[in-house]
Homo-oligomer: A and B are copies of this chain.
Amino acid sequence: MDYENLKSPTEFLKSMLATLPDEAILREYETWWEAEGKAISTAVDRGGTPWLKMFDPIGERVDEILFPASYWKMLRKGYQAGSVWRAFEAGSLIPSYLLGYLTSFYDTGLYCPYTVSLSTAVPLDKYGAKEVRERFLPQLLRKDESVWQGATWMTEAKGGSDLGAGVETIAREEGMHWLLNGEKYFASNAGAELAVVAARREGAPSNVRGLSLFLLPRNREDGSLNYFIRRLKDKIGTRSVPTGEVELKESEAYLLGQPEQGIYLILEVLNISRVANSVGSVALMHRAMIEALSFAQKRIAFGKPIVEHPLLCRQFDERVSLLKGAFALAWEAVSLLNEVWRETPPYSERYHLFRVVAHLAKYWTAELAVQTAKWAMEVYGGIGVLEEFGIERWLREAMILPIWEGTPHRQILDGLEAMERKRAHELLFTHLAPLAAPQALEETAGRVEALLDLPLEERESQAEAVFRDLAVFTAETLQNRPVTSPMVS
């Protein structure tokens, strides 16, 4: 197999997609990463958790995150390339996800700021009151260094799976604002100028129905800090995005959409990031393979490069095949989301089809990312565990992927729910029918139906194997699609 065209992520995208929009932009972005970005990214990873400057010397609270200057350069590069603004200018999410693939190939953690900024801009655009939208949205879409960042803060210290019980932040209406009080435990992209935040209205029920979504600026109207970063968290990877604990103290916020529909808006936010997680997982898988490849082409054992040893060669071939399937699956989620992202409740069948594909993609691509990063370390052998050579980084980066935006358990159970309630599996099989071998399709469909017929406890207990096989089946089926079909808008 010829691996050379794998070495460029842009080249790979081109080979996988019938048409590649923004090719020149992607090439320029890739060139920058190779020339400059990779070295910055490595330094940021090695630098570990950045410092949080909480007070200035005079004792004023400032909550400034002390990344090295080159971090900001790297970060802004992606905004300027269009990770957020292009989606609004093109009326399509495709440009964002294409750039996201490259970003994640070079620095998986860095993809997070762009994703959460996009996930802030979209609900603001869809659900923000006119004056709120007009005031804040343009800040997120600037093309220069003054661009604002977004963030999406839902989870609190009691955990994120059971959001209905876990969100204890309270929102109180007062004058033109809502005032929020509470603590957000996993505040990705802490320091962002805007955040969308889940909170419970005073007196609202203590389940998911009681949740609303709010827009929270970094600064109050009077210019003072509107939220406080209590600390940044030491993570094993994704050091290119600062994750903090954020305190809300009478923090000014703006309601997005209908107060009772908060949970739908929250799930819409998750749609965007869950798909980004899938795209990012594939890119990381890709990167880890390339790193393994470049080593295996140089390391000599028993008289020849180890990439030419039959066993390793076979593993590379299998990984390439898995990569292509994973990409096809993730990109299907992208394409479907691009059809439905402007929907508001109640949703179409297409939306439910999207949801089940997104769960399958999130689940399976993250799994492959971790497995591939682990495998790449094994290819390196002993030096694979040394920090000096950096290959271990990709496992550290990968481990967030099955966890962020819902663990495998969450994907399986939420996917199951979409099948039960919305018959999403039927939509999926209909969708796949033109591409799949009829017998395989039928057999897979039979297993899913059998699962759904089980009593609840039993159904959940046995779901994983079926869900995994469904993901693999979907990936392999989509991979068979003729490349001439127009996959992107």
Contact = CB atoms under 8 A, between A and B. Distances in A.
Interface in A29-58: 36, 39-40, 42-43, 46-47, 51-55, 57-58
A468 interface: no
Interface string A290-332: 0000010011111100100111111100000000000000000
Contacts of A370: 374
A397 to B, nearest CB: 10
Q: How large is the interface on A (under 10, 10 to 19, 20 to 34, 35 or more residues)?
A: 35 or more
Nearest to A43: B68
Contacts of A302: 161-162, 165
A160 B382 contact: yes
B57 A51 contact: no
Nearest to A60: B157
Interface in A201-252: 230-231, 233-238, 245
Interface string A430-465: 000000000000000000000000001111111110
Nearest to A232: B231
A399 interface: yes
B399 A385 contact: yes
A19 interface: no
Contact of A388 (B156, B233, B300, B413): B233
A66 B47 CA distance: 12
A324 B219 CA distance: 45
A51 B392 contact: no
27 contacts: A46-B47, A47-B68, A51-B234, A51-B388, A53-B388, A54-B388, A57-B298, A57-B380, A57-B389, A58-B299, A159-B301, A159-B381, A161-B381, A165-B300, A233-B386, A235-B386, A236-B387, A238-B385, A310-B458, A310-B460, A313-B461, A315-B464, A374-B402, A378-B408, A382-B403, A385-B403, A395-B395
A301 B161 contact: yes
A318 B370 CA distance: 20
Nearest to A73: B70
Interface in A149-171: 155-162, 165
Interface of A: 36, 39-40, 42-43, 46-47, 51-55, 57-61, 66, 68-70, 155-162, 165, 185-186, 230-231, 233-238, 245, 295, 298-303, 306, 309-315, 370, 374, 377-389, 392, 395-396, 399-400, 402-404, 407-409, 412-413, 456-464
A300 B165 CA distance: 10
A156 B61 CA distance: 12
A461 B311 CA distance: 4
Contact of A409 (B39, B61, B311): B311
Contacts of A235: 385-387
Given A46-B51, A185-B55, A374-B370, A299 B382 contact: no
Contacts of A161: 301-302, 306, 381
A46 B461 CA distance: 37
Given A231-B54, A382-B155, A457 B400 contact: no
Nearest to A387: B234
Contact of A231 (B231, B381, B407): B231
A230 B230 contact: yes
Contact of A407 (B157, B300, B381, B413): B381
B234 A301 contact: no
Given A159-B382, A236-B386, A314-B462, 8 more contacts: A39-B69, A40-B70, A43-B69, A51-B234, A53-B388, A54-B388, A237-B385, A311-B412
A403 B388 contact: no
Which 8 A/B pairs are nearest by Cβ-Cβ distance? A59-B157, A43-B68, A310-B460, A39-B69, A162-B301, A310-B461, A234-B387, A59-B158
Q: Considering residues A42, A311, A377, A384, which has the most beta carbons from chain B within 10 angstroms of its beta carbon?
A: A311
Given A378-B402, A403-B377, A165 B385 contact: no
Contacts of A460: 309-311
A276 to B, nearest CB: 17
Contacts of A39: 68-69
A234 to B, nearest CB: 4
Given A59-B185, A310-B461, A311-B409, A160 B381 contact: yes
Contact of A69 (B70, B233, B379): B70
A202 B40 CA distance: 47
A463 B299 CA distance: 22
Contacts of A379: 407
